[in-house]
Structure 1
């Protein structure tokens, strides 16, 4: 019987990151054109789309449209204006690698950089800052130093309980031999490697001045003829004694991390920079050119470094006096000779790209399972769900934050004034931008069955690629099970699920307006019957429709309506049920500010005396909130019904669900309602690995 169609949307500071309220919205979909490479389409489906496993050094990098990161751009540019920042770079990473990077502002004038004067006078203040510009990263390097210690520990090359220094009377498990005066503080023997990682090695810079930033005094005290080395700083400050017994207090310590660099070099037999690069950074695909030792003098810096403004103020009693050859004893600004950056490597003396840092923080703060805070330092609180580290040197402020939503944000800046931006403000605003990024649509509703058979699925095939996808998969022997059209990001996308062909002949339609759909309906109606239907409105507000059909050689009776109001739909459900028609497909959408329903029924009459008007009992809901749907499903499953169709749609700002549950034999089912572009791949892989496959996907918002 033919169907009928009836007319009817550093100062250095490590600190605990504030616990931001995580958005209740799910994250958005991947803006990526997916084309099937040659070969088996099922295998292509598994490899063409990026994943975020975060469990191996070669995990694929996700691609997202730059427009999705506009919120980060707006925050960076606003903060630069607020705090008079001349140049900055931003990188955002997930648990795998960097997903966004960009430079802002200008690199700065040539006379503050190691570059020749520009040929174009209009570029006197530099060119636009590239995303791969180098910045002094200041204390944001400290977690890299801590990670290097953990790496040595895990490799059995040291133990965090080992004594850091070999001095008279030290136990055998000590590492770095240092010269100390005869009346040295014997508590130095007790300092462990782990205590210095945790900032509890006995150093308090508020008691004993941090001479790492007073190079001239160290230079004079040790009668040097060249800038102080890490050993010079360490031995000078150890000669002054400790400020508290190791392990009894915690005070943020640049000195402790400078000394950890010495431990790393002694144990590994490599320079600090080379060890952290080769062991920690190179395996992540980070270029050697993106990790360099900071240089104190302009003409020795990498030409990719931005300008550092020559501030000429004093820091307390610290006169910025150079120790470099040819100018030792002469006053120099902090940024160009006043400090010895070459000796700061392990506590703040690397120059890096934001991308390199973001990759490191992605894989070491969250390598598969996040490491606990106490594996790095005694604070932030090990129970915190996110961490941050800030850095501040002359004309440089930096931040790396792991937001509670799982994204890492690295922001490197230079500025005209000393340490003017507030780390807490930057964290809050950048992590809020991360929340907003994750809150973008679309979201996906899906039904999975317990069946590990071959399948292909995509939640967001762009409209311009969908026909080619259908042609490729059909040609490879796949059968379309379900298609759901929806509008997202101002365009139409199709969620589609496929199974290995089983001999069933099928046809499909997509993208038709109401008149075009009816025309196609008339062409198919005599020999085919509809099994799935989907409705949505395009960017222009025009209703569009997609459908799946199977051959109907026995003229099975069926009915469909695609523009029903809620009231019309409810009436037809009641009428068709009484006539022995079972609901097999339901889809909601918004048209003109009202909810509309598209649905398909199949004639399935019950025999005489049956308790239901259909041979296969079913239940259906529409227009329900997700919570109500979940309660409905739980009750239906308790009564022996299986979920067979579901669509989540929006009407205005309201999220609504339409669904069908059928009492018939079949595999177990699962229903998910809030996956999205950022979570789909990982979640889908978990289900696939457990022996489930999707049979229905719908996109919304």
Structure 2
């Protein structure tokens, strides 16, 4: 997967850096919608309709919550089901969420720590039985450094191994599709790009490794552990890991749009396929970007981070949002466990985006108690407007609300 090199540097706030783009009312008014959007939150609805219209997005979702209550859940547009028929996007339709998966993985790691089964200071080679022959510095990679993207891998230097399927298969002389173990073998045989703990470099590979640690320590598959220890206690049942091919989609998963193609990574045929359908290996993305979810699922999942509860205790939450050893980044933010973080008054704003071919997602949790998630079935490509702009746009929409509704939609979408 996943998020591009330039991550969001500002949390969604009431006075964003970018203003709403000029809408064409007739087109915006024609967007198909489902779900519930209270009149008090019309600014969010207008913002989303404008955003999807200007970017020719065919399927999207938005969910808004405040103080632990889900206030709005909306589907926008339609999608092609397997078999060709079209369906309107529902608030519960599933989307690939890309790097929004990282806070799920971070929570799973902290649950293992919380239960006394793992230490944040445990070292990667010992946990996974990896050799340090190619680079002794690998021995300095700890669980905490993996969580905070301080592990020593820089995709701008050595490329992201989650997207090197053909290279890895050729180098190791193995057939496609490759698996997690092949990716780990390939990367472990090469030196790190910098000293672990010395600087921040966003790493999908580091989070993929956390998934393997979760499996090794728990004795369960990554997905099974997350379902059992995190999602079920949080009352969430729809979320699941995604698959690579369109015909593998559950009926409630949307389709995805991209103008790019790639040679299939599913076999060695060399067939050129739509990038989003077989141009990358979705199961290999599991812990760093492989989850399917709806926006309403994700705002409910976000409640886990609001305070101690059935999933995480106070110590775990504190560790997730703690500043790393490298301190803050330029712009006064830092990367915790699966979240970008910035102080806001006496609290913190946390946020993250996700991006892979055919997907863009964004989630923000503000110190005011407001949270929101937007997901789209395409991402920014050459010639299309900036998708990162959804951050200040939704921040401005939140700032325009004068009276917040109080009706909680949670029972409507979660049995």
Structure 2 counterpart of 1:322, from 264, 283, 286: 264
| Structure 2 Cα separation of the partners of residues 412 and 421 of structure 1 | 16
Q: Is the 8 A contact 1:13 1:389 kept in 2?
A: no
**CA deviation after TM superposition for structure 1 residue 208, in Å:** 0.4
**CA deviation after TM superposition for structure 1 residue 334, in Å:** 1.5
Q: Could you give the per-residue CA deviations for residues 102-158 of structure 1, whole angstroms, max 9, x where no partner exists?
A: 100111x34xxxx2233xxxxxxx222111111100001111111111111111110
Cα–Cα, structure 1 residues 434 and 21, in superposed 2: closer, same or farther, change >3 Å?
A: closer
| Structure 2 Cα separation of the partners of residues 253 and 373 of structure 1 | 18
Q: Corresponding residue for 1:362?
A: 303
Q: Corresponding residue for 1:131?
A: 91
Cα–Cα, structure 1 residues 225 and 212, in superposed 2: closer, same or farther, change >3 Å?
A: same
| Structure 2 Cα separation of the partners of residues 424 and 105 of structure 1 | 20
Partner SS state of residue 324, structure 1: coil
Q: Is the 8 A contact 1:12 1:139 kept in 2?
A: no
Q: Are 2:291 and 1:346 equivalent residues in the alignment? A: no
| Structure 2 Cα separation of the partners of residues 280 and 249 of structure 1 | 30
Q: Corresponding residue for 1:148?
A: 108
Cα–Cα, structure 1 residues 199 and 365, in superposed 2: closer, same or farther, change >3 Å?
A: farther
Correspondences of 1:44-83 after superposition (within 5 Å): 66-83=38-55
Structure 2 counterpart of 1:435, from 375, 380, 399: 399
| Structure 1 Cα separation of the partners of residues 302 and 385 of structure 2 | 22
**CA deviation after TM superposition for structure 1 residue 19, in Å:** 6.8
Q: Corresponding residue for 1:639?
A: none
Higher Cα Rg, which structure: 1
Unmatched 5+ stretches in structure 2: 16-35, 324-335, 408-415
Superposition RMSD in Å: 2.7
Q: Could you give the per-residue CA deviations for residues 153-187 of structure 1, whole angstroms, max 9, x where no partner exists?
A: 11111010100223xxxxxxxx1123x5x841111
Q: Corresponding residue for 1:394?
A: 357
| Structure 1 Cα separation of the partners of residues 406 and 376 of structure 2 | 31
Q: Corresponding residue for 1:116?
A: 83
Q: Could you give the per-residue CA deviations for residues 501-547 of structure 1, whole angstroms, max 9, x where no partner exists?
A: xxxxxxxxxxxxxxxxxxxxxxxxxxxxxxxxxxxxxxxxxxxxxxx
Q: Could you give the per-residue CA deviations for residues 280-333 of structure 1, whole angstroms, max 9, x where no partner exists?
A: 11112111xx212111111112121111125335xxxxxx222314x5433323
**CA deviation after TM superposition for structure 1 residue 218, in Å:** 1.2
| Structure 2 Cα separation of the partners of residues 273 and 68 of structure 1 | 38
Q: Corresponding residue for 2:225?
A: 275
Cα–Cα, structure 1 residues 328 and 270, in superposed 2: closer, same or farther, change >3 Å?
A: farther
Q: Is the 8 A contact 1:204 1:253 kept in 2?
A: yes
Cα–Cα, structure 1 residues 154 and 379, in superposed 2: closer, same or farther, change >3 Å?
A: same
**CA deviation after TM superposition for structure 1 residue 366, in Å:** 4.8
**CA deviation after TM superposition for structure 1 residue 18, in Å:** 3.6
Partner SS state of residue 332, structure 1: strand
Cα–Cα, structure 1 residues 253 and 85, in superposed 2: closer, same or farther, change >3 Å?
A: same
Matched residue count: 363
**CA deviation after TM superposition for structure 1 residue 14, in Å:** 4.6
Q: Corresponding residue for 2:159?
A: 209
**Structure number with higher relative contact order (C-alpha < 8 Å, ≥ 6 residues apart):** 2
Q: Corresponding residue for 1:90?
A: 62
| Structure 2 Cα separation of the partners of residues 340 and 363 of structure 1 | 29
Partner SS state of residue 232, structure 2: helix
Cα–Cα, structure 1 residues 429 and 251, in superposed 2: closer, same or farther, change >3 Å?
A: same
Cα–Cα, structure 1 residues 365 and 216, in superposed 2: closer, same or farther, change >3 Å?
A: farther
Q: Corresponding residue for 2:123?
A: 163
Correspondences of 1:170-249 after superposition (within 5 Å): 175-178=127-130, 180=131, 183-249=133-199
| Structure 2 Cα separation of the partners of residues 374 and 219 of structure 1 | 38
TM-score (normalised: structure 1): 0.49
Q: Is the 8 A contact 1:400 1:410 kept in 2?
A: yes
Q: Corresponding residue for 2:378?
A: 415
Q: Corresponding residue for 2:277?
A: 336
Partner SS state of residue 257, structure 1: helix
Unmatched 5+ stretches in structure 1: 1-9, 23-63, 119-125, 167-174, 314-319, 442-675, 679-701
Q: Is the 8 A contact 1:87 1:105 kept in 2?
A: yes
Point out the more displaced range, 213-222 or 368-377.
368-377
Between Structure 1 and Structure 2, the one with more strand by share is 1
**CA deviation after TM superposition for structure 1 residue 338, in Å:** 1.0
Q: Corresponding residue for 1:383?
A: 343
Cα–Cα, structure 1 residues 382 and 158, in superposed 2: closer, same or farther, change >3 Å?
A: farther
| Structure 1 Cα separation of the partners of residues 89 and 341 of structure 2 | 36
Cα–Cα, structure 1 residues 94 and 232, in superposed 2: closer, same or farther, change >3 Å?
A: farther
Cα–Cα, structure 1 residues 163 and 84, in superposed 2: closer, same or farther, change >3 Å?
A: same
**CA deviation after TM superposition for structure 1 residue 421, in Å:** 5.3
